[in-house]
Structure 1
């Protein structure tokens, strides 16, 4: 058995009239129609627009509250040649928002500059020092992008200093809205904008749209990057923006984007949402995570190729440094959790350390959520200032923003969303924050909430995973939050050619098979699974279907997310001498079964004492519950009854068959009745025979082993055929006729021979069948075995 890492929640199969209608009206497969319905798209025209049009129409930007006021004030500033400052944020959404707004204002002839606070010295959002600096530079109008909705005090200061502030933001509004000249926000409490889920760059783009008087197609590429990077729902207007923006990116004139793609071996024609999420956005984020975000904006605004390439190289280096830093921080964070805040007693993990880079703690927080599936807050302590800067990430069912809002008295500066947030607080308040968040989690979450789950769109047959079907799925793209790539379940399949791949063997590759159909499967970061899937097991997998193209040959494949083996598994470790080569691969919850106590010393099993069980008699075998456990048979049992009682009507998850045997009977000479007949005739002729002196000579003469002579002598003694004194064996006169099977030594020899033959020298398939016969013994036979105890 191999348990999945998450709970698989498979959507209920739909075969209703809506699916049939969409399939017939749009000439699409029932499978694609069902996926649409599962995404809440049930009307034919909505589905037609979603799949085939350029995208849903963009809403009128003047539907946003205060947009008319903002446009009038900006155009007035341009006309009067006032100095305008675009105040942005240091993440990918923030730098693209800044670039969009600066470009639009430059196109309209404004005197514009931009400012992005330093994450390390200023923290998130507008701050008073920055606004005072703006005043000293004769700034008349400040336009915030992707920030500002929480800047109540800072906006008030700007008014005192004689500067107007226009806020464009998308973060959750707090209880008090800043008294800015204009507040453009899709969730403005007094507004009624039809789409509330715009990213910061989406709000900046709408403002540019209003300023231009027409859709600014030249800014679609930047808007698409920020929208994908900020993980907002890719539905409605966001989907329209990204869909159009990806087409623009594939022929972008932005020299900075061109340079990043060229340095990382990506052709513009291949850009999709994954390119943004895994290549472009992390690099734009890297600058602000490690130092100043200015290089990221400078890259997007670069006006010559040499400058763009130089900045792109710098950002690439920053991203590599960021990756190393995150790995080290995550390792340290895991150590702190394991030693000080065990997850079983901490439904929310709140940890911190001096010296951690505040720019990457958000990524480390996400890593810890993946590992422990708990809401996580990671803080970087600055002892000089007494402040802690933190990032938080959540799980389904725990609204991070609402929970942190209940701790506002401890958080003088914070903002974010349901699933992510950032904050600055006093170090001395961290313990209080931890206690409160734990209390809130205990109120809101139950045990099941701490088991991660994966929503599976549908179960399909392997035969369905064809190129044409996978190509049709691309009509659902672009994929992202609230419109994820479909996840499919393929159940109870055989597999072939399973192996670890990659420089560090960290990835898994195999071929799934069912009848004549097959499908390549790859699991990134799942290489260790190869050690936990036994030959001939049937696997069930979930993952995303895609197309692998190599040398112009297209083949369907599934990118694995999780694997399950429902039945017990047999791992053959017979003959493996070095225990450390395989024992570490046996999962926890294991039982190491030893039938002979001296095996412990022979195999040096003392360090594994807590997992050892010595099955010294049939009663121990009967009372040992192996169901749901990982069982290791360290040595061979003395009798088959031991195995039968151990296994009958029990269901272990896994069996590791080692079956160490100090003395092997199978390859020694096992005497037949002809052997015994000849030896008896020999003793009859000799009358007496000195075993100590001549047994070796006799064995050599007959081509037997010395042990064979000794064994037959012992059998004759047990049957009363001979006497043995001081090594001299003599036949008894007129012994009673008895069968060889009446000798205990003979029976044990035959038993051991049979056990070795069936358990040690069988092939894998024979051994697996041997175990299965005992798992499914009849109830009557089980009742009989009770008499053996």
Structure 2
């Protein structure tokens, strides 16, 4: 049995509907299954989805107060008033600034932008910065990707006589700021049909309303912020990203070209994944470590030389950020171990002085991924007495709502159900931790703390080929509400399996259903190679990609998880050195079992602290893994152990000090000669001369001792203190009647059956024991 790392939630598309889609839409079964599994079950809906175009765009004036905001801005431009765009320091924020700045500049506005410093000002509106903006001569502030949480700050700006327009998409509280206009896709008085725009999406809709047209050249910037902010990729957002990526692939914008180059990705092959994992993190990096202005300057510059320098600067920031994240993550995990050991709490609230508040959100994400718990990671500042940080959550625990219940402890917070930012006094951290744990324990079940893997694309190997995978661009972009598929391949086996990489920590397996084959690789999953036994049927999930090597293209599965309900036999026979295989055995739920006491003495020092259970001294093992260290005296003992314990894994070592199988049993001629020899002498010192006689006759040493024991069993001789004396007897007895003879024959048969049988035969023998059929067959 192979336990999956996550609980699989498998949804299977309607096969009749799949056939209908493939026929009507002329698409592959893979494409049809993806559409259907994403809730698109109508042919016309599927056609609209596959042909998403600018008709997906909505009238920006459906926003509440859009007309008023446009009038205020145009009036300010007409009166030559200075306008400040107040943004955020993340990717969504800097792309929002870029879009709105560009639109206002095209209208001739006197405009500049301001981004709060994460460390000095924190997230959102800040009175000191509003004061600076006022003193710089601005009479209007337009917020992008922030604002709805700044009730006091907006009120302060109004006392300065400034006009304030908010554009935001974050969760708003019960009271909205008293701005001159607030553009929000979920405004309670609005009618906008797409509630899940990113901040850059809201800024773009304002740009459209101001310009009186759709500035399509800005969609490549909108695509970056939309992907980075993890909003729904349906409807208008899908068009933003789909069209934006199309433009990015051939963009002349120096910033896009430079970012693709430093990220090491071909510009003409950019995808939503390129944005999410390569472009977005680099635009995020300067704001995490200091001033985010350089990210805006990179996106806006028209100078290739400047763009190259700025992109390299952002790349350096990103590398520095990666190092800081790695260090803090290790410290946070050590803190978890020290605070909780194996008793993982319902919520993590971790805090330490010196942690960079710009990257603690990433650390929180890593903790949530590893432990599947909501996590808050805070940076402590002894000078101010404040703790600032970020939160990440799991399904079933709405982080924004749960933080709202603790508003009395928080000086500031904002965000979404799965991610939030917050600050509070250091003295309140312990109480916040206590409260959140209580809230989680009161509202969540243990089932909700088990990581889940949603699988809705079961495939057979014959559905997978390069052409199908290449044509998946038809369905892109993948993202929120149109998630990238997690593919499931069931009832397959491994034609070959091995560990690869310098540290042998990656898995390489060739999957087969008996006809088709598919290469699969699991990065960081090399240990699984020790847990997949030959011939076992298993199911595997992961991501399908195209692997190109020396001009050849092949499908390849990137493994995420594996599961099998079959019991497994692992063949350790012939590997005498325990050190060569003990690391492949699970460290928990395993029983090391011996039938012979001498085995315990022989192998104890190699057991790495594991206890060896001796047959007959304890209850039979009930652990999942049974490691059979040696051979039983007879097969009945082994049947008893296997039937009673029903292990999901059997590791067959079957150590024997000396095998007798290939020595055979002496023939009648040997027995006859030895009997005549003893009779002629009358007595024989076996202890002193037994080995010499064997050497003289060219026999193995134990042959003489074996025949002596057989004669003793039959009463032909008497052995005392190693001396053999002939006995007077006329009774004729068959050699095979001797217990010693029978024991040797039984041992040879046991070795043949267990020690020297081919793997498949041994597996069948154990199968028969487990099914209860072997007793009938062997009677």
TM-score normalised by length of structure 2: 0.95
- 2:677 aligned with 1:682: yes
Instruction: State the distance in 2 between where 1:758 and 1:304 align.
Output: 78
**SS in structure 2 of the partner of residue 191 of structure 1:** coil
Deviations along 1:68-92, one digit per CA (max 9) or x if unpaired, are 1211122222222222111111111
- C-alpha change, 1:345 and 1:260, in structure 2 (3 Å) is closer
Counterpart CA distance in 1 for 2:342 and 2:380 is 22
Other-structure match for 1:412: 411
Structure 2 distance, partners of 1:705, 1:447, is 64
CA deviation after TM superposition for structure 1 residue 13, in Å: 3.5
2:760 aligned residue (760, 765, 783): 765
Alignment of 1:329-368 (within 5 A): 329-342=328-341, 344=343, 346-368=345-367
Alpha-carbon shift at residue 716 of structure 1 (Å): 1.1
Please show how residues 652-731 of structure 1 align to structure 2 within 5 Å. 652-666=647-661, 670-731=665-726
Deviation at 1:399, TM superposition (A): 1.3
Aligned pairs (5 A) from 1:264-663 = 264-342=263-341, 344=343, 346-587=345-586, 588-605=588-605, 611-616=611-616, 620=618, 623-626=619-622, 629-648=624-643, 650-663=645-658
SS at match of 2:555: strand
The range that moved more, 407-416 or 320-329, is: 320-329
Cα distance in 1 between the residues matched to 2:24 and 2:767: 52
Structure-1 separation of matches of 2:495 and 2:184: 54
Q: For 1:201-212, what aligned pairs fall within 5 Å after superposition?
A: 201-212=200-211
Q: Pick the aligned partner of 1:751 from 726, 746, 755.
A: 746
In 1, Cα distance between equivalents of 2:723 and 2:451: 74
C-alpha RMSD of matched pairs (Å) = 2.4
Contact in 2 for aligned 1:647/1:775 (Cα 8 Å): yes
Asked whether the equivalents of residues 149 and 167 of structure 1 are also in contact (C-alpha less than 8 Å), the reply is yes
CA distance in 2, matches of 1:216, 1:438: 48
Mapped pair 1:4 → 2:4: yes
Cα distance in 2 for residues equivalent to 1:506 and 1:142: 54
Deviation (angstroms), 1:466: 3.0
State the SS of the aligned residue for 1:409: coil
Give yes or no for contact 1:669–1:704 (8 Å, CA) kept in 2. Answer: no
Shift of 1:160: 0.8
For 1:62, the equivalent position in structure 2 comes to 61
Q: Distance in 1 between the 2:20 and 2:59 partners? A: 32
Give the count of matched residue pairs: 778
- CA contact 2:620–2:645 (8 Å) conserved in 1: no
Match of 1:197 in 2: 196
Shift in CA distance, 735/158, structure 1 to aligned 2, threshold 3 Å: farther
Alignment correspondent of 2:126: 127
Contact 2:260 2:267 in 1 (8 A): yes
Q: Which range is displaced more, 324-333 or 186-195?
A: 324-333
Normalization by structure 1: what TM-score? 0.94
Distance 1:677 1:460 in 2: 69
SS at match of 2:408: helix
1:268-297 residue CA offsets vs partner (Å, 9 max, x unmatched): 110011110111111111211222222222
Hey, what's the Cα distance between the residues in 2 that align with 1:339 and 1:581? 33
> Are the equivalent residues in 1 in contact too, given 2:263–2:279 (CA < 8 A)?
no
Q: Distance in 2 between matches of 1:163 and 1:187?
A: 25
In 2, the alpha carbon distance for the partners of 1:443 and 1:616 equals: 48
8 Å Cα contact 2:544-2:557 kept in structure 1: yes
2:13 aligned residue: 13
* In 2: Cα distance, 1:227 partner to 1:658 partner: 57
Give the Cα–Cα distance (whole angstroms) in 1 for the partners of residues 490 and 542 of structure 2.
12
Structure 1: stretches of 5+ with no match in the other structure? none
- Give, in whole Å, the separation in 2 of the partners of 1:277 and 1:690: 85
Residues 291, 561 of structure 1: alpha-carbon distance in 2 compared, 3 angstrom cutoff? same
Which stretches in structure 2 are left out of the alignment for 5+ residues? none
Task: Compare 239-248 and 96-105 and name the one that shifted more.
Answer: 96-105
Post-superposition Cα deviations, 1:103-138, rounded to whole Å, max 9, x if no partner, equal: 222222222211111111211111111111111211
Q: Matched residues in 2 for 1:221 and 1:746: separation?
A: 86
Instruction: Classify the secondary structure of the residue corresponding to 1:642.
Output: helix
Is the 8 Å Cα contact of residues 519 and 555 (structure 2) preserved in structure 1?
Answer: yes
SS at match of 2:56: coil
- Inter-CA distance 220–78: structure 2 relative to 1 (3 Å threshold): same
Query: CA 1:38/1:536 → structure 2, altered by over 3 Å: closer, same or farther?
Result: closer
Match in the other structure for 2:238:
239
Q: 1:742 aligns with which of 722, 737, 746?
A: 737
Answer yes or no: is the 8 Å Cα contact 2:255–2:308 preserved in 1: yes
